[in-house]
Amino acid sequence: MLDIKLTESRLDVNACIDFVSAGDAGGIDVFIGTVRNATKGKSVVRLEFEAYEPMAIAEMQKIAEQATEKFGTKKIALHHRTGVLQIGEAAVIIAVSAPHRAAAFDACRFCIDTLKETVPIWKKEIFEDGEVWVAAHP
């Protein structure tokens, strides 16, 4: 079972854990990606996330389906935030439950690594003196 969400509202880690909890799952792994206060030594004021929403949701769904297939997980919650985020706020939460811990860890890592490569979401870092779309230029 999968719970895929893209939202402008604050993410709720407990809701993700509740969703993936299951009697036949002996392990839950949670990854939370948060807004860091600096990049390459430069202070970040806030982040702005933009998404191509229908495609982002479809790609997140594909990733969760692939992880289920590949690692035999029970349930996966994949929530990503959009809009303006302040330092320390969660940009992404991935919760995975599996019968045993190894599959939960591996599937969680697979989800975040693949999300960062394929899901059409873009992050803009806002500094005191300017702003930059992350990874846009070589």
Which residues contact another protein by CB under 8 A? 33, 49-52, 54-56, 58, 80, 91-92, 112, 115-124, 133-138
User: What is the closest distance, in whole angstroms, from the C-beta atom of residue 100 to another protein in the complex?
Assistant: 26
Amino acid sitting at position 103: A
CB closer to another protein, 54 vs 72: 54
CA neighbor of 76 nearest in space, from 103, 89, 95:
95
**Inter-residue contact 49 to 116 (CB < 8 Å):** no
CB closer to another protein, 38 vs 58: 58
User: What is the closest distance, in whole angstroms, from the C-beta atom of residue 99 to another protein in the complex?
Assistant: 26
Distance CA 79, CA 92 (A): 6
Alpha-carbon dihedral of residues 29, 34, 38, 44, nearest 10 degrees? 170
CB closer to another protein, 100 vs 133: 133
User: What is the closest distance, in whole angstroms, from the C-beta atom of residue 127 to another protein in the complex?
Assistant: 16
